[in-house]
Structure 1
């Protein structure tokens, strides 16, 4: 069953995916921010570190991640389990979360998951000032980390410590088109490749000039999916779409689709 919209929107509250580590105002540090489960791995590690001055109580859940109707969808699943599901981390301490698969991924396929880490606020007693009861407002942080699992014969993330068949390296196969719908303009990107595409630094080029669309992360397109993002003004004909994929240092041009 798909999660309600309010929860799906909340999953993106803290997804800083452009660095080797993630840190939010709540002082919880998470690494790596791009864990994977290779075909020959039964488990992978995720570390949580409390850089704050108060105890951090965290809940860890792993959801299946699909894309349909230009939208991210998250579903309950038991194929990958995060353990422990609840962590109490004292200031300055770390906690290892073990991401364990319970079933194999079909050969040549990539499956996508989202690791959702919720910070559980500690209960606080209302205070009193000058005989008046003071209301206490607490904020709950939510972190969202992508996880990709691979079947035999396919891999995506570079790892110099592992020997793998170069023929198994999966790459996205992207096409794009401009769309006008409901009075709004969109960039629509389709991925027909075997692995996901993480899109950053997106720009359109026309007449030798680049016009940025998104600086930093725009989003993901999973294998077989089509996603779209709004642009502030209609795109003219003959424009070229430029972007970076999966952290590559070089910009690539995306070919137009139907």
Structure 2
């Protein structure tokens, strides 16, 4: 598989998740995996809540952020076993997720598990539109020395638009929701992740005010700060 074929942006991820929401036969738990050294493996459970057997595929992608985009790339540092399964109606199936890399974890390593329900081939031949479900699960491997997230905010102008940027100078990711600038919502609900030593950004609607106070909520509770002007 070429490099171009293995790179996925956040916009594509959003489409996958919306498509998956239209089906309900396959469920996955947990919705996030975090594994702490010296542990090197975790587990993912797939459940078939439908009346027919489901074929599932599990792939692992290395996850990074670049210029405000989330990038997924094929990797052999972590493997899912088995990568293809058949789940019978009403049954569960456990997938082992194993870190195969020999080097110790430094800080935090971020991956995404992409779980696909493979559409029924017979239904496609009969002209039936099969909406397959896709889950994209965050996966993190953490070292004991990994530092907590440290967020810094800034406003940046790009091509006539204004963006609020969150820079994370810590090792571990920050999951953000309910971001506001000067008391006005920038992102309601889950806003996404800022990986360690990476940045994420959100476009502002309208003009930025002189008040650059930022508030958000992380997994560890509320955070606040003042955005620098760039």
**Band of TM-score, shorter chain:** 0.7 to 0.9
SS class of match (1:10): helix
Q: TM-score, normalised by structure 1?
A: 0.78
The alignment's C-alpha RMSD in Å is 2.5
Quote the offset at 1:5 in angstroms: 6.3
Q: Which ranges in structure 2 are unaligned for 5 or more consecutive residues?
A: none
Quote the offset at 1:235 in angstroms: 1.5
CA distance in 2, matches of 1:180, 1:66: 23
Q: Contact conserved, 1:107 with 1:153, CA < 8 A, in 2? A: no
- CA separation of 1:256 and 1:149: change in aligned 2, threshold 3 A: same
Counterpart in the other structure of 2:223: 252
Q: Contact conserved, 2:9 with 2:71, CA < 8 A, in 1? A: no
Quote the offset at 1:96 in angstroms: 0.5
Per-residue CA distance 1:136-168 (angstroms, 9 max, x = gap):
3222322100000123433xxxxxxxxxxxxxx
The structure in which a higher percent of residues are helix is 2
Q: Which of 164, 175, 184 matches 2:161?
A: 184
- 1:204 corresponds to 2:175: no
CA distance in 2, matches of 1:228, 1:178: 9
Counterpart in the other structure of 1:161: none
Q: Contact conserved, 2:123 with 2:130, CA < 8 A, in 1? A: no
Counterpart in the other structure of 2:13: 11
Q: Which ranges in structure 1 are unaligned for 5 or more consecutive residues?
A: 17-21, 128-133, 155-169
Aligned length, in residue pairs: 226
Q: Runs (4+) of structure 1 moved beyond 6 Å?
A: none
Q: Which of 222, 226, 233 matches 2:195?
A: 222
Q: TM-score, normalised by structure 2?
A: 0.87
- CA separation of 1:67 and 1:203: change in aligned 2, threshold 3 A: same
- CA separation of 1:3 and 1:185: change in aligned 2, threshold 3 A: farther
